[in-house]
Amino acid sequence: MSEFDAIFVGAGHNSLACAAHLALKGWKTAVFERNPVSGGAVQTREVTLPGFRHDLGAMNLSLFAGSAFHKKYANELKAAGLEFAPVADCFASVFPDGRWFGVSTDIEKTAVRLAGFSTEDADTWRRLVGGFMGEAEHLFRLLGSPMSGRALAGTAWNLWRKKGVSGALDTGKLLLSSPRAWLDETFASPEVKATLAAWGMHLDFAPDIAGGAVFPYLESMANQSFGMVLGKGGADTIIMALEGLLTAAGGKIAHDAEVAEILTSGGKATGIRLANGETHRATKAVIAGVAPGALPGKLLPKGSGDAGFDMAMKKFRHASGTMMIHLALDGLPDWKAGDELKKFAYVHVAPSLDQMARTYQQAVAGLLPDEPVLVVGQPTTVDPSRAPEGKHVLWVQVRALPAEVKGDAADEIAAGHWDAIKERYADRALQLIEAHAPGLAKKILGRAVFSPVDLERGNPNLVGGDQICGSHHISQNFLFRPARGYARWNTPIQNLHLVGAATWPGAGTGAGSGFMLAQQLGGA
C-alpha cells in the first residue's frame, strides 16, 4: 500500500490541474486513470490514417488560455511544452440560400458581413462589442468564483455598484433568458440569430431553454474581442503540459489503473482500491473526476451515508448525446458560399432557430433528428501540423442525438443499437455538409465515426454520449451543480471531493473546478 496526501480518480484536465497545484504546494499527489492515456474529453489521436491527428473531444482551448490556472502557471506550462495556435477567423454559419455569416477578430470584417444581412444588426454589434468588457467583468467574476451564496451576493453588489439597479437587472435578465428571447430582442436578421444560437447547442441549450442566452453572448463577444485558441499539434498539448507540470513537482500518474472503490472509514474518505486489488491510502483528500452517477452504488458501494445526496447523484441529468465524425481529407471543403469559409476554425450547419429547436426535441424524444446540428471544425486551416503536408483533418460534431434510439424522424433508419446504425447516420450528417460543400466525399481519405455509445465506452463520464457531462439548465447550474448544497466540490463524506464538468463552473477547458478546489484545499 502506498500513501499520498491526495489521490485523484481520473486524469481529466481538472484533476491534473488540481493535482499539479497541490503538488507545487508540497502535497504528495497521485492520479489514477483507467485508460492508457490522460485527458478525459481532451485527447488527440490518429484515428483515421497515420499522420492525421484528430481531437477526439474538445478542440477549442480558449477557456484554458484565458483561465486563472494558465495565468498563474503560464511560464511553467510553456516550459512543459504547451503551445497555442491563435485563430482570427473564429466561427461562421452557412445557409440554404448560399449566404454565410462569420465572426472574425477584425471588427470591420464582421460588421461588413453583418451589414449584408442588416445594417441595424451591424450597429447593434458595434454597441455590444463596445460594452462587452464592462459586462464581461461581472460575468467572468461569477464564472471564475467558487459557487456560494456569498459569491453570488458579492457579484450582485459589484453589479449594483457599477451598473446601478437597472443595469444589474439587465445582467440578471441575460442570465435567465433563453437564446431565442435574447436574440429576438437584440437582432433583426434570422441568419445572425441562427449563427449565434448555434453556440447554445454546444451546452445543451436549444433556442427556447431558459438560461441559455449568456453562452451565445459570451462566445460571440469573446471571439470578436479576443479571438479563439487551438492547441498546436492538438488539444492534448494542455494535457501533456499538465502532466509535465505535475510530475516535475513530484506527482505520480498511473495509467491502466482503474479505480474500483473509494475507501471510507468513520464517514471519511481514506483511499482507493484498484480493479487489480491494489489499495492506496489518502491522508488528506480523495478527489473524484467522475460523473455524479458513478459514486453511489459504484465507487461508493454502500453509498455516501446521505440518502438525499445519493439520490441527487443518481438523478443527475445528462445532456443529449453527440456523434463525432473524424475525416482525413485530401483538401479542405470547397464551401459553395465562398472560399473565405476555408479560413474559419468552425463552420456551423444550423440554418435557423426553428431547426435547432426541432432537432433538440426530436433527440429528447429518442428520435434520430432528420437534420442534426453540425459543428464542422477545420483545425488544419489554423494548424497545418496536424496532418501531412497539403492534407487536412475535419472534426465534425453532430448534435443533438438520443442515447438510445427509439426511431428516426426522417423514417429512413430503423430503430436499433448505435453500433448497427452509426455509419448510416454519419452518412446523413456528411450529406448535409456535402449540400454546402459539394465534392467533400471525393476528398475523404479516411473516416472514423464515434457514436454516443462509443464516446461513453471510451470515457464513462460521457454518459449517453453527453460530451459536457451534464445539462447546464438553470435547475442544474450555479448553486445546483451538481446538486443543492454540494456546489463547492464537497460531498457528505469528509475529505471526498468531486471535480470536473459535472461540477461548478461546468463544462469547458478552463480547469475551473480543479483549480478552485486546489486553492480551497492548499491555498492560492
Q: DSSP string covering 451-464, please?
A: -HHHHHHH-TTSGG
Diameter of the chain measured on Cα atoms: 69
Q: Are strands 407-408 and 444-450 parallel, antiparallel or unpaired?
A: unpaired
DSSP 280-300: EEEEEEEEE-S-GGGTBTTTB
- From 3.40.50, 1.10.3470, 3.30.310, 3.30.519, which CATH number describes the 320-458 domain? 3.30.519
Q: Are strands 100-104 and 496-498 parallel, antiparallel or unpaired?
A: unpaired
Q: Return the DSSP state at 39.
A: B
Q: Are strands 228-231 and 496-498 parallel, antiparallel or unpaired?
A: unpaired
pLDDT < 50 stretches in the chain:
none
Sheet holding 444-450, edge to edge: 100-104, 89-94, 346-349, 373-377, 392-401, 321-329, 444-450
How many C-alpha atoms does 51 have within 13 Å on its Cβ side? Answer: 10
Q: Return the DSSP state at 320.
A: P
Query: What's the confidence (pLDDT) of residue 148?
Result: 83
C-alpha 84/C-alpha 228 separation (Å) is 10
C-alpha 20/C-alpha 347 separation (Å) is 35
Q: Return the DSSP state at 386.
A: G
Q: What is the 3-state secondary structure (H, E, C) of 47-67?
A: CCCCCCCEECCCCCCHHHHCC
Superfamily of domain 2-42+57-82+234-316+469-522: FAD/NAD(P)-binding domain (3.50.50.60)
C-alpha 11/C-alpha 376 separation (Å) is 27
Continuous segment of H or E residues that includes residue 268: strand 268-274
C-alpha 425/C-alpha 363 separation (Å) is 13
C-alpha 180/C-alpha 190 separation (Å) is 11
Strand partners, 268: 265, 494
C-alpha 212/C-alpha 226 separation (Å) is 22
pTM for the model stands at: 0.96
Every domain of the chain with CATH number 3.50.50.60 lies at 2-42+57-82+234-316+469-522
C-alpha 111/C-alpha 109 separation (Å) is 5
Tell me if 82 sits within 8 A of 237, measured CB to CB: yes
Query: What's the confidence (pLDDT) of residue 373?
Result: 98
Every domain of the chain with CATH number 3.30.519 lies at 320-458
